[in-house]
Amino acid sequence: MKYKQRNMSMGLRPLTLLIRNLLLQRGTIRRMTSEIDKEELKKRLTPLQWHVTQEKGTERPFSGCYNKFYERGTYTCIICDQELFSSDTKYDSGCGWPAFNEVLDQGRVKLTKDTSNFGGNLLLLIANPDMVRTEVTCSKCGSHLGHVFNDGPKPTRKRFCINSASISFHSAGEEKKTPS
């Protein structure tokens, strides 16, 4: 069972990760993939986390716990704990969601064109091609994280607009798990 990372004491987290990694190596627990046990996941997540990550929802602007949060550390996927963003690339874009101008590694996210805001109206899509968004999902488990836009600060000009409900935060200095 995965515990809420931000509420776990610093002393238990390394031990929990060690046990989890040993169980993964032995095959006792299954890796998070597209074969995630949806019922178990639904019990573990809040209704908002489920809506955002599994139904491609969006939390209300300025409501997420990481919007005005600036501690040093790493942000991970709430579902599979893959490291995604560093606090070094986080900035206040004023959009109401946590914004990052870079991913830790491009292979950790999948970018897909998203035309869902047109509701299938092809004329609206043709008339407004610049309104096509790019969805950001976790490359490891496929969870919806948010969207990326090309209106961020230099040098990348990227604004990864990420829902707080889709990520966890790990403070700097906290022992990180080894990549599996």
> What's the rounded Cα separation, in Å, for the pair 6 and 18?
17
> What's the rounded Cα separation, in Å, for the pair 147 and 137?
8
**CA proximity to 163, closest of 140, 151, 147:** 147
What are the φ/ψ torsions at residue 79 (nearest 5 degrees)? -85, -55
SS3 164: helix
The angle formed by the CA atoms of residues 17, 106 and 31, to the nearest 5 degrees, is: 35
Contact by Cβ (8 Å): 53, 32: no
Quick check: is 161 catalytic? yes
Find the catalytic residue in 77, 138, 141, 161: 161
**CA proximity to 19, closest of 29, 10, 32:** 29
Contact by Cβ (8 Å): 87, 72: yes
> What's the rounded Cα separation, in Å, for the pair 33 and 37?
9
Residues noted as catalytic: 161
